[in-house]
Amino acid sequence: MRSRVYNSETIQQLPLSLNKEWKEANTDGTYAAASILGANTKPHHGLLVVKAPHRTEHLVLLSGLEETLLIGDRSYPLSTHLYEERIFPDGYVRIENFYRKPFPSWIFRVENLAFLKIVMIIEGQKTVLIRYQLLSSYGDFVRLIVRPITAFRPSTQITRMPDRLMPQLEVAAQTIELKSQNRYPSMRFFHNSAVVDREGKWFRDQVYGKHFAKNGVVRKEDLYSPCSFHYAFNEEDGVYLCVTTEKKRIIDPFLLELQEKRRRHVQLS
């Protein structure tokens, strides 16, 4: 894919932007992909998609995120999901720019605040790093709620709630492990959030439109979120969520990002 910047004018043209994709991958076959809005428009889209052990197919483990920015007592969704009759929430209306390179990156404009999101797949690992940063100072208290949405399925299939077994959640300091009951790889979530809310939530009836219709009927999927991460910012802070199938006890996200920038010859500030 060519290196390109998409501005808000392009992004607001939904028939166009829903058909423009980004993909971030490593040489092991692990990837993240979606539309430039951040919404998944095909069943093989997701934020952590890995090769199945001893098989050629891929597994979608982490489908996406629900992201909400809070400024003082005001709440703004940043994410976008597709349903048969609507697009909800409307996080795409706050995207000012999307960049394909060196990493898929979004700049959101919320009130007078500029907010950066970066997604990177780490070379040699089944790991995705998502980092968020304030790009401008702001007087009010700024928080971010990130809810991971899981799939645990082959990339060519979709699932409904009755077919799914609830993953098991194990919480430790700054780490969460999510174990699938379908013999899929476990995911470990490393984070620097202030609070982890263990209340789960279903995202029902998400669709992939014409890309996954059967006999002209749009098929729907139910996806499960086991928890949410609650972050707090100041002007200098960056926060992160690092999701991996690697059996690691500790991850240094800032070192991972530095290594990826060096590997891709990104100019370091």
Query: For the segment 196-240, what is each residue's pLDDT rounded down to a tens digit?
Result: 999 999 999 999 866 555 566 678 999 999 999 999 987 566 999
Greatest Cα pair distance, the chain, in angstroms, is 54
Q: What is the pLDDT of residue 246?
A: 96
pTM: 0.94
Q: What is the pLDDT of residue 20?
A: 95
Q: What is the mean pLDDT of the chain?
A: 91
Over residues 117-141, the mean pLDDT reads 93
Question: Peptide bond preceding 185: is omega within 30 degrees of 0, i.e. cis?
Answer: no
Q: Return all residues near 225 (Cβ < 8 A) that are at least 6 apart.
A: 66, 147, 148, 149, 150, 200, 201, 202, 203
Question: Peptide bond preceding 104: is omega within 30 degrees of 0, i.e. cis?
Answer: no
pLDDT reading at 2 higher than 50: no
Let me know if domain 5-263 sits in CATH 1.10.1060: no
Q: How far apart are the first and last CA of the chain?
A: 25
Distance CA 24, CA 32 (A): 5
Q: Tell me the domain boundaries of the chain.
A: 5-263
Q: Which two tokens stand for residue 259?
A: 């290594």
Q: What is the pLDDT of residue 215?
A: 61
Q: What is the pLDDT of residues 154-213, one digit of tens each?
A: 999 998 887 677 888 998 888 999 998 878 999 999 999 999 999 999 999 999 866 555
